Chain A
Amino acid sequence: KAGVTQTPRYLIKTRGQQVTLSCSPISGHRSVSWYQQTPGQGLQFLFEYFSETQRNKGNFPGRFSGRQFSNSRSEMNVSTLELGDSALYLCASSSGLAPSTDTQYFGPGTRLTVL
């Protein structure tokens, strides 16, 4: 089975721009979660989608949004980029169904640098 894929792997943007990141989950998985990882804060939960619906959301401003398509692929959008948005953005997939939903498999991440 192919793993979780994320595109692009690296991005450089300037303040004020917007960015869209993409994640394709493991085949058959219906849940996609997004995390932001920074050296100071560690891994922080952004949101989780299951069957095109957002089921849970972390404590991030509204500039961070996402969506999921019918084929379970997910996109994450960050508008009006700030320097502090520079981070590794990780996507994780799981079946989305208890009890196995907790075991999440991570993609390689997108390294976003905001200048």
Chain B
Amino acid sequence: EDKVVQSPLSLVVHEGDTVTLNCSYEVTNFRSLLWYKQEKKAPTFLFMLTSSGIEKKSGRLSSILDKKELFSILNITATQTGDSAVYLCAVAISGGSNYKLTFGKGTLLTVNP
């Protein structure tokens, strides 16, 4: 069974701190890994990673994938209260008609002022 595990499950930091969120996976026929941010309702897309070692960056957020060790990290530098959210990691699998994302349970990040 395909599995995506995120750690930690929750994290509380102060504004200005740097955080690292982890996502490991065990899936057959990996195709891509995606990160989403979920505040109140709809998850919003952050990054899609398909190749090992290539960092994706958007402002204070960055992410990298290691396909050999089967994990990804999401870094947030100089955190702000607006970064408080659940961060979701998902894996897409290739092969046949497999068009679905398998999600981890998420990491709840709380940034205190």
Contact = CB atoms under 8 A, between A and B. Distances in A.
Given A42-B106, A43-B88, A106 B44 contact: yes
Contacts of A4: 42
Contacts of B74: none
Interface residues of B, number: 24
Contact of B99 (A35, A90, A101, A108): A101
Contact of B100 (A56, A106, A109): A56
Q: Secondary structure of the B side of the interface? A: strand
A61 to B, nearest CB: 17
Q: Secondary structure of the A side of the interface? A: strand
A90 B100 contact: no
Interface of A: 4, 31, 33, 35, 42-45, 48, 50, 55-56, 58, 88, 90, 96, 99, 101-109
Interface of B: 31-32, 34, 36, 41-45, 48, 50, 88, 90, 92, 97-106
Given A50-B99, A56-B100, A108-B41, 9 more contacts: A42-B104, A44-B103, A55-B97, A90-B43, A96-B99, A99-B50, A104-B45, A105-B45, A109-B42
